[in-house]
Every structure is written in C-alpha cells, then in structure tokens.
C-alpha cells in the first residue's frame, strides 16, 4: 500500500532529513518509526501525506506516486489519511464537538450524518460526555484524544501520528496507544513516529538514524 523506493529528502539549504530510504507498509499494518530527535521521522510521515515532497526516489501510496501528484489531487489523497501531528492544532475557541465536526463540514457532509459521525468518533476516544466542553477544559491526554477523534472522523484507511504520546504521563500515554491499537484492529493502517516504542509491543518497528533506515 505504501512504498518508499530509495527516498531522499533534502531541505534547503542542504539538510539531508532522509537518505536512500526503502520501506514498505502493507495495508492494515501497524508500523512504528523510531529514532532520535531529528532522525527524519516527521519527514517520513509528511512525505506520505504530501505535506512535503521527496527530492529523490519515489513515495508510492496505493500505486500513486505522491511526489508527482498535482497539487489539486492532494485533498483527495488526504481524505483517506488521518493526521495526528503536533502542528495540527485544536481550535481553542470552538467546542470539542465543533473541532471534530470541522473536517466533515469542509467535506460538505449533511449536518445530521456529520453529527452522527462526530459522536461516533468522540465515543471511540471516550470523549462523548465532553462534546460541549471547550478544549482548554480538557487534560493533555483528553486533548490528544480529541485530536485523534478529529483525525479519524472521516474514516480514513490510513492513520499517521507524530509523537502522539509526547508530553503525556505514562498512564495517559498507554491509553492513547490503546486507541491506535483499536483502529489497527478494525483494519486501519497505522504509522506512528515515536520514541516510546515500548507503548506498542508487537508492532513492527523500523528505526531512523540521521535519515537512514537502520532496521
């Protein structure tokens, strides 16, 4: 489903974030991407979602060469990808419900069906009873669960998460990890970049070291 074929990414003015990376992720797989800070983990995820483009090699998602995707085709690609990234901020002036509704409103869903899906997503992450709350009233772990609900409300086949357990205490980090496992169990392909690979026992792991895949 996802294939990196000799992928490199050089950021200006000459930072090699990824060098000659080959990796394949099958549909329905759970992959952990480990490695030190600055190893290239976020960049790897961003290339899959066409947030960044490779400067060498090819990234294929369902047979499509993401690096060559016309700009206009990117929203269509993203419709099947849920993103839990640090820079995908919650809207702090909107309720929990509205934060999860936003992607569906943008996609043009009928309000009734959208509301049903929003509540299903909030239920999955255990936040159904907080739908009227403002994000500021939530704990760090609850905010992270809200970000996950927003990422999955469009029922993507692929979920990409960048350090989803960062800044969480160990118990909360385990709860968040369990949510990713549940999505994997229902067939979603999940790729998580994390230092906390012990949170995902049994998942296949690869490791980046200064932009190179080491295992």
Task: For ligand ADP, give the closer residue by CB, 38 or 111.
Answer: 38
> Site residues (CB under 6 A) for ligand ADP?
11, 15, 17, 35, 37-43, 193
Provide the minimum distance between the beta carbon of 116 and ligand ADP in the complex, in angstroms, as a whole number.
36
Could you tell me the smallest distance in angstroms from the CB atom of residue 109 to ligand ADP? 33
Closest approach of Cβ 42 to ligand ADP, in Å? 3
> Nearer to ligand ADP by C-beta: 34 or 141?
34
Nearer to ligand ADP among residue 91 and residue 166 (C-beta): 166
Cis peptide before 13 (omega within 30 of 0): yes
Other Cβ atoms less than 10 A from the Cβ of 57: the count is 18
Tell me the closest approach of the beta carbon of residue 191 to ligand ADP, in angstroms. Answer: 13
CA quadruple 206, 32, 66, 27: dihedral sign: positive
Is the Cβ of residue 15 or residue 178 nearer to ligand ADP in the bound state?
15
SS (H, E, C) 4-66: EEEEEEEECCCEEEEEEEEEEECCCCEEEEEECCCCCHHHHHHHHCCCCCCCEEEEEECCEEH
């Amino acid at each position: 489903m996802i294939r990196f074929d000799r992928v490199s990414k050089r950021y200006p003015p000459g930072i090699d974030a990824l060098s000659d990376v080959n990796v394949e992720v099958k549909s329905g797989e759970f992959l952990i991407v480990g490695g030190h800070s600055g190893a290239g983990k976020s960049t790897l995820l961003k290339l899959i979602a066409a947030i960044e483009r490779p400067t060498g090699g090819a990234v294929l998602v369902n047979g499509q060469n993401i690096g060559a995707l016309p700009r206009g085709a990117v929203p269509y690609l993203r419709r099947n990808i849920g993103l839990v990234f640090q820079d995908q901020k919650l809207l702090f002036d909107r309720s929990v419900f509205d934060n999860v509704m936003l992607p569906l409103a943008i996609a043009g869903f009928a309000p009734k069906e959208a509301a049903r899906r929003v509540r299903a997503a909030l239920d999955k992450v255990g936040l159904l009873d907080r739908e009227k709350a403002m994000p500021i009233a939530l704990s760090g772990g609850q905010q992270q669960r809200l970000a996950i609900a927003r990422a999955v409300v469009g029922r993507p086949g692929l979920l990409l998460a960048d350090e989803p357990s960062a800044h969480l205490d160990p118990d909360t980090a385990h709860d968040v990890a369990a949510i990713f496992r549940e999505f994997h169990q229902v067939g979603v392909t999940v790729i998580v970049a994390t230092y906390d690979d012990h949170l995902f026992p049994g998942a296949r792991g690869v490791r980046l070291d200064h932009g190179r895949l080491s295992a």
